[in-house]
A = this chain, B = another copy of it.
Amino acid sequence: MRRAVFVGRFQPFHNGHLEVVKRIVEEVDELIIVVGSSQYSHNKDNPFTAGERITMIRNALKEAGIMLSKIWIIPVPDVHHHSLWVSQVVGYCPKFDVVYANEPLTRRLFIEAGFKVEDMPLIKREVYLATEIRERMQTGKEWETLVPPSVARFIKDINGDVRIRELNKTDTIC
């Protein structure tokens, strides 16, 4: 059996992520989606909690007809000491054979640890950026079409776009 890991922060889970998942799922038996930096939320780069991100991913996979029995969704907290990161992922996951990642640090750490690392089949990456989505939410621009419909609904349900706008206001008293 072939099991892959896909590491991301998913702030939020968007159409680009979903395309990546679909592609990997065709190539392996099981896919572990590692929700990194799981302990962070409510800051500019990490607005959503681990629970919210897991919910988004699961909703989007269901919506896309991907069998949950092939998927593991596992939140993994950062360990700030990069030399420990690969061991941290290994400790939180079932055994895996291959790592899909484009993020250079993640790639580098797994390569130095002797893992097989593949490029992710990224699709339209220049469009579907989490960073851009967060900026659009912040500035009130259209962002809903960049994420799966169920994710857009969920973010609105929890007032996620309002949260992002408020997190980015600066205050001067403190």
Residues on A facing B (Cβ under 8 Å): 8-11, 16-17, 20, 36, 38-43, 49-52, 54-55, 58, 62, 68-69, 72, 74-75, 77, 79-88, 90-95, 102-105, 107-109, 112, 120, 122, 125-126, 128-131, 163, 166-174
Q: How far is the CA of A68 from the CA of B30 in the complex (A)?
A: 14
Say how many copies of this protein the assembly contains.
6
Known: A17-B173, A54-B92, A86-B87. 19 other contacts (CB 8 A): A39-B77, A42-B109, A43-B105, A49-B92, A50-B91, A54-B94, A58-B72, A75-B92, A79-B84, A83-B87, A84-B87, A84-B88, A104-B167, A108-B167, A112-B163, A125-B173, A129-B173, A130-B173, A130-B174
Contact A8 B174 (CB under 8 A): yes
Contact A49 B83 (CB under 8 A): yes
26 residue pairs bridging A and B, Cβ less than 8 Å apart: A9-B174, A11-B174, A40-B80, A40-B82, A42-B105, A42-B108, A43-B82, A43-B105, A51-B91, A51-B93, A51-B95, A54-B72, A55-B94, A84-B84, A84-B87, A84-B88, A84-B91, A86-B87, A102-B173, A104-B169, A104-B171, A108-B166, A108-B167, A129-B173, A130-B174, A131-B172
- The interface residues of chain B lying within 8 Å CB-to-CB of A52 are 94
